[in-house]
Structure 1
């Protein structure tokens, strides 16, 4: 990804109609189905290259043209590449794509949750570019907290403000936090303030979506996760109308050096409208394993069942789709719908 920060005008408008979430979900479904490799006794193996190949193939068939703007390194040598163009029309790309076919799959096994395949789409040039930064700190909350939160506030004050907005006591709040050593201090601050903490080893995107979705059981997401996951989260929150702030937060020495060389500001918090400047976003996520947000891929009789969340910034709708697919066979190829 380019080191320079991409800035976009607030009045950016797409040159084409946003693809339907119902179409885009084919890509996340394909990745989840290809990734899911049950081994029995609650164990699960993930096929990274197969998930990437399946998502790439589906995106290549869809009737729009998009450029991969941000992507994880999932899939090794088969991974998506920034600048890769996908879609069928011969027209210049009108959309930016953020792709993670294996989000939250680092910690798989019995009891591990929230793994999913996710794809987001926004008008070309409308997404913030984190450059060489791999990590991003985020604060995400429901729409009811709009205008009340400042990410620079002390943790206790943020939680007190959020509790007022949601009309519940601080002890009634649940904050989603990745279970990482870097969050030890933040974890202690949240608990001292009296709020509950939902600790998970992975699942940054699932937590962010739930934090912006009223009634999900998660009232906020705090802490540092991946930058690609941060952009996926920002697209989802933009579609849901929630609150999102983020800042670049490099964790590794080499990453800090590259971020400094690129001249990127790691102290400035970006508002949602700076992360995604256009409202015409589409977000889809399909569960790989069971989690708080989505059920994972399951066998049901002779079919594989998936659950997909589809969000549209254009309409403000969010839909949960259960799909049933014939398993792939050597003669049949990819699962049929």
Structure 2
């Protein structure tokens, strides 16, 4: 540990020991959602996760404010809602109680319950819109990938930096019709593509953990709120990420201006979207390449979670047994 790290002042997040609490919250939401796996009802699965996460958040000693909230019509965990007991540090809260609602309803891989905490003012406020995204893991020169480059240019630059032919690069892309031209270009140049049915928070984490997952880059577009949550994870793991809002209607542009975004065409780095000390937690709902899903057994429930913190660059993998 460097002297600078050793002498760095502790933040309120550390003082309140929220690292374990954040995992307990995503565990509760994941367990609630798991009861709806494979039952084809996205709304009920999501609502179960929202209710459980909201209930758990109200019990934590902090002054929480939801800045990235539930977007699917729930009355709980909406934008600007105050959560927590009102005692303790001021914390910005970003939630996605069920990332991958379709995956949960169809019992497909990589459905997660996701939560992030940041010091007040640490998270970018974004509208309910899509965001272009690109992400790679740590160990590369700054700026080797960029949203203003073509997919071919980004892949060529990444392959050169990695010291491998283009055909050994693996890209992760959400399986969506809007990505048809991107997929065609990647396959034309010989890139292997892992298609995810849902959940681009997991996709960004996959790219950041390239040594473990074999995925070199995440490309494409997904929800802007999920982009901010992914940026929190990227801040904790290391690596590079860019995001740019897709504001293709007047209503979305007006919403962006209303929440204070000055440049509607700006490119955001992970640090722009999530700065200061941040915490990230995710618990698997369905089994995936990142986390195991919730196991519901006769006498216990087993959960698999990851908790990360930016200040210490610590990643904790937690397997917990909950007595029924």
TM, length-normalised to structure 1: 0.84
User: CA 1:78–1:160 in structure 2 vs 1: closer, same or farther (change >3 Å)?
Assistant: same
Matched, 1:208 2:204: yes
Per-residue Cα deviation, 1:39-65 (whole angstroms, up to 9, x for no partner): 7xx656553322112111212222322
The residue number in structure 2 matching 1:138 is 133
Could you tell me which of 301, 304, 314 is aligned with 1:304? 301
Equivalent residue in structure 1 for 2:225, among 223, 228, 239: 228
Q: How many residues align?
A: 309
Comparing 26-35 with 251-260, greater Cα deviation is found at 251-260
What is the 5 A alignment of 1:248-287?
Answer: 248-250=245-247, 254-256=251-253, 258-259=255-256, 265-278=263-276, 280-287=277-284
Counterparts of 1:78 and 1:50 in 2: how far apart (Å)? 13
**2:214 maps to what in 1?**
217
Quote the residue 2:6 is aligned against. Answer: none
SS of match in other structure, 1:321: strand
- TM-superposed CA distance for 1:94, in Å, is 1.8
Q: Partners of 1:166 and 1:22 in 2: how far apart?
A: 36
Instruction: Report the CA distance shift for 1:172/1:306 in structure 2 as closer, same or farther (over 3 A).
Output: same
Q: Which residue of 2 aligns with 1:171?
A: 167
Q: Secondary structure at the match of 1:55?
A: helix
Which 5+ residue runs of structure 2 have no aligned equivalent? 1-8
Is the 8 Å Cα contact of residues 138 and 240 (structure 2) preserved in structure 1?
Answer: yes
More helix by percentage: 2
| Residue number in structure 2 paired with 1:120 | 116
For 2:173 and 2:262, the matched residues in 1 are separated by 25
Specify the SS of the correspondent of 1:106.
helix
Contact between 1:135 and 1:251, CA under 8 Å: does it hold in 2? no
- 2:45 match: 47
Whether contact under 8 Å (1:144, 1:166) holds in the other structure is no
Distance 1:204 1:282 in 2: 18
Question: TM-score normalized by structure 2?
Answer: 0.87
Aligned residues of 1:135 and 1:224 also touching (Cα < 8 A): yes
Q: 1:239 to 1:146 in 2, by over 3 A?
A: farther
How far apart, in 2, do the equivalents of 1:317 and 1:268 lie? Answer: 30
Q: How far off is 1:266 after superposition?
A: 3.9
